[in-house]
Amino acid sequence: MKKTTAVLVTLFTMGALLLASLAPTTACAADKTAIRISAAMSLKNALTALKQTYEKKVPNVELQINFASSGLLQKQIEQGAPADIYLSAGKKQMDELEAKGFLIPGTRANLLGNALVLIVAKEKKGQISTFDDLVGKAQSISIGMPDTVPAGRYAKETLISLKLWEKLAKRIMFAKDVRQVLAYVESGNVDAGLVYQTDTVVLKSGAVVAVAPKGSHSAIVYPIAEIKGSQNRAEAGKFIAFLKTAAAAKVFEKFKFIPLGSQH
């Protein structure tokens, strides 16, 4: 009996010590302030890298990032989805949220620029090298849905500007976001696609063959703003300020974004 009692006491003591050692970690996690960010899918690589940097710099903050097409994120915010910050790949979506009163006045800013490029599947390398080549050499093309995906709207504008839309419209496979366009091209499901220059950093088998001509589409601008109803305005504002710094600009440039008005 004594031996059994001693074993039980030892196990109890070890359990208590284990719980004590875990307590500070649990408390620290509970004390973190969550910043909820709704961000365009094309920002996934850059923001994931910046998230790691910022959370190391500010350990009491946890960045919770929801990546999707700008149009879908807009709808989610309008339907009451919790968000402190909205970072769109298009001006249109931000304009509509602002008109409906979802933005905190004075917080909106143009953060980044981008470029639109034509990519082709590996089987089409050497065959398609210009936009005009699409008419005779591409059986299928993918772009984002113009109504909800800013890159899709820029793509449609470009094809209309180049007088190619009517010739190619029946061959277009619409995608839910730019990453799906990339996947279609990489897998060979389509011959070509139009994506942001920034998306090509993860391009493996496909190739970039052309950049959309200057003036063929609206200016590509990524606006950012705080959303009304935010429970963490102070921390949200600090994170937006961080995204405008020279250090953040270097990360964005690594992923082929064009920082606008960074603080050097």
pLDDT at 18: 37
Please check whether residues 135 and 95 belong to one and the same domain. Answer: no
Please check whether residues 227 and 109 belong to one and the same domain. Answer: yes
Residue 8 lies in a domain: no
pLDDT at 30: 58
CB 137 within 8 A of CB 105: no
pLDDT in tens, 56-114: 999 999 999 999 999 999 999 999 999 999 999 999 999 999 999 999 999 999 999 99
pLDDT in tens, 117-162: 999 999 999 999 999 999 999 999 999 999 999 999 999 999 999 9
Residue 71 lies in a domain: yes
Please check whether residues 206 and 120 belong to one and the same domain. Answer: yes
pLDDT at 262: 52
Q: 131: domain CATH number? A: 3.40.190.10
Residue 27 lies in a domain: no
- The size of the chain, in residues, is 264
The yes-or-no verdict on residue 4 having pLDDT over 60 is: no
Please check whether residues 156 and 225 belong to one and the same domain. Answer: no
What would the mean pLDDT of 233-259 be, rounded to a whole number?
Answer: 96
Please check whether residues 192 and 239 belong to one and the same domain. Answer: no
Please check whether residues 129 and 205 belong to one and the same domain. Answer: yes
pLDDT in tens, 25-35: 333 455 889 99
Range of the domain at 205: 116-211
Please check whether residues 98 and 120 belong to one and the same domain. Answer: no
pLDDT in tens, 8-19: 444 444 444 334
Please check whether residues 232 and 108 belong to one and the same domain. Answer: yes
pLDDT in tens, 211-231: 999 999 999 999 999 999 998
Q: How far is CA 31 from CA 26, 107, 254, in A?
A: 9, 26, 33
pTM equals 0.78
Number of folded domains that form the chain: 2
Please give the residue that has the higher pLDDT: either 228 or 263.
228
Residue 181 lies in a domain: yes
- From the CB of residue 246, how many other CB atoms can be counted at a distance below 10 Å? 10
Residue 146 lies in a domain: yes
pLDDT at 135: 97
The yes-or-no verdict on residue 24 having pLDDT over 50 is: no
Residue 82 lies in a domain: yes
Please check whether residues 54 and 109 belong to one and the same domain. Answer: yes
Mean pLDDT taken over the chain: 89
Residue 2 lies in a domain: no
Residue 197 lies in a domain: yes
Please check whether residues 102 and 126 belong to one and the same domain. Answer: no
User: In the listed set 190, 211, 232, which residue is the last one of a domain according to the structure?
Assistant: 211
Please check whether residues 187 and 249 belong to one and the same domain. Answer: no
Please check whether residues 53 and 102 belong to one and the same domain. Answer: yes
